[in-house]
Amino acid sequence: MITPAPLTDREPLVVRLRWFAWRVAPAVGMYLAIRLATLAILGAIARVRQQSLLNYLHGWDGKWYLQVAQQGYVHAIPPGHSTPAQCDLGFFPMLPLILRATHWLFGGNWTVDGVVVSAVAGMAAVSFLWIAIEDRFGTSGARRGLALVLLSPASVVLSMVYTETYIMLGAAVTIWALERRHWVVAGLAAALTTTLDPVGLAVIAPCVLVAWRELQQRGNWRALAAPVLAPLGITTFFLYLWRHTGSFFEYFHAQRAGWQYGPFGTGIPYAFGQFFLHFLGDITSTVKVLSFGVCLAMIWWAWKKRTTWIWITYALVVLGMGAISPIICITPRLLLRAFPLLAAVGATLPRRVFPVALAISVGMMVCLTIFSTSPYWVP
């Protein structure tokens, strides 16, 4: 593939948009092909089981986001603990707002609306990610890095009504803007990302570190725009919860009552304990233990290859948030959210090793895509 020549600042907008589309075309093509393949797998399973494909696209977390979009948040957490106490107050607002706006504009089926707008967001996300990887590792590295992200084991959620696609978009735009010193753009993108999911808060860390380095090395006070704007999204959501429920921290209360009960930091020890007790009999703990090992190997490799500290900072905060959770641990879905780490590893693996790593990843992706249709497996 021939990379288009760089543009000057004087080029008309139409020319610049055409240049951008030409440059990111491989990324968009790869994304759409993999998403169609994933939907084909889910469609085949649905046909064999005589079920609707849509049931697989809005399950688990998706049903909660759709509930908020359709009905709004409840005013109080149900009494009890675990399943009886689960409610939509444990989920962030941006995806429901996107779903409601899309449905208001186009109507139709809520799930179909969610999948279509997610595909559009995904195309935008891979476009910015492709540029970020290509600028650092070249076109060949961008192709390998993006392939490892899009064919990672948990990538089925990119075809579902989940937040991962939007987190990738928000984080990719934030990183792209920070590397080009577009401070306001970075701050606004980070602010929107923090309204998607708790893991979205990880984008604040590189904003803070970049601003600190700019102040230390260049005395550039404008860089503070990024970390100042970044927390506005999550702050606005919590202020809304305060008005709606009477508690600024109602999200945390809902999570602790329905999902994240137990001492913090016990997720990883518990997963290893279950693995040693049941070995392959407990598929969830097996996947988490394998993911933990893969995570350590990727961090070591990325550090060895001196991956940019902006990428590493974001990925480490994402993984750290999973590590301190009582239940999440390190999962394939969390590794997907730490996509800069996957991208850096894919772009820098030796050519003789990359096909093996990608083949293993694809095999795991197919398995977890099939498992995602089970009522006993949460993607």
Q: In this structure, is residue 149 part of a structural domain?
A: yes
Residues 194, 201 contacting (CB under 8 angstroms): yes
User: Tokens 């490892």 map to which residue?
Assistant: 148
- Residue 7 is predicted with a pLDDT of 53
**CA atoms of 106 and 120, how far apart (whole Å):** 14
Q: Nearest-CA neighbor of 167 among 179, 182, 157?
A: 157
**CA atoms of 129 and 250, how far apart (whole Å):** 34
**CA atoms of 32 and 53, how far apart (whole Å):** 18
Q: In this structure, is residue 16 part of a structural domain?
A: no
Q: In this structure, is residue 12 part of a structural domain?
A: no
Give the E-state strand segments of 179-316 in sequence order.
Answer: none
If one counts the domains in the chain, the total is 1
**pLDDT tens by residue, 212-231:** 999 999 888 999 999 999 99
pTM for the model stands at 0.92
Q: In this structure, is residue 278 part of a structural domain?
A: yes
Q: Nearest-CA neighbor of 141 among 20, 257, 305, 263?
A: 305
103-110 long-range contacts, CB within 8 A, separation 24+: 103/69, 109/54, 110/58, 110/66, 110/69, 110/70
Q: Show Cβ contacts of residue 307 under 8 Å, excluding neighbours closer than 6 positions.
A: 340, 341, 344, 348
Q: Which portions of the chain are predicted below pLDDT 70?
A: 1-11, 375-379
Q: In this structure, is residue 112 part of a structural domain?
A: yes
Q: In this structure, is residue 98 part of a structural domain?
A: yes
Q: In this structure, is residue 241 part of a structural domain?
A: yes
**CA atoms of 183 and 194, how far apart (whole Å):** 17
Residues 373, 45 contacting (CB under 8 angstroms): yes
Q: How many helices (H) and strands (E) does the chain have?
A: 17, 0
**CA atoms of 212 and 227, how far apart (whole Å):** 10
CB count in 10 Å sphere of residue 6: 8
Q: Show Cβ contacts of residue 229 under 8 Å, excluding neighbours closer than 6 positions.
A: 184, 187, 188, 190, 191
Q: In this structure, is residue 279 part of a structural domain?
A: yes
- Residue 265 is predicted with a pLDDT of 85
Which residues span the domain enclosing 130?
Answer: 23-371
**pLDDT tens by residue, 6-59:** 555 566 777 777 877 888 999 999 999 999 999 999 999 999 998 899 989 988
Dump the DSSP string for 32-59: HHHHHHHHHHHHHHHHHTT--HHHHHS-
Residues 336, 149 contacting (CB under 8 angstroms): yes
Residues 115, 57 contacting (CB under 8 angstroms): yes
User: Rounded to whole angstroms, what are the CA distances from 343 to 151, 300, 379?
Assistant: 11, 14, 21
**CA atoms of 19 and 237, how far apart (whole Å):** 37
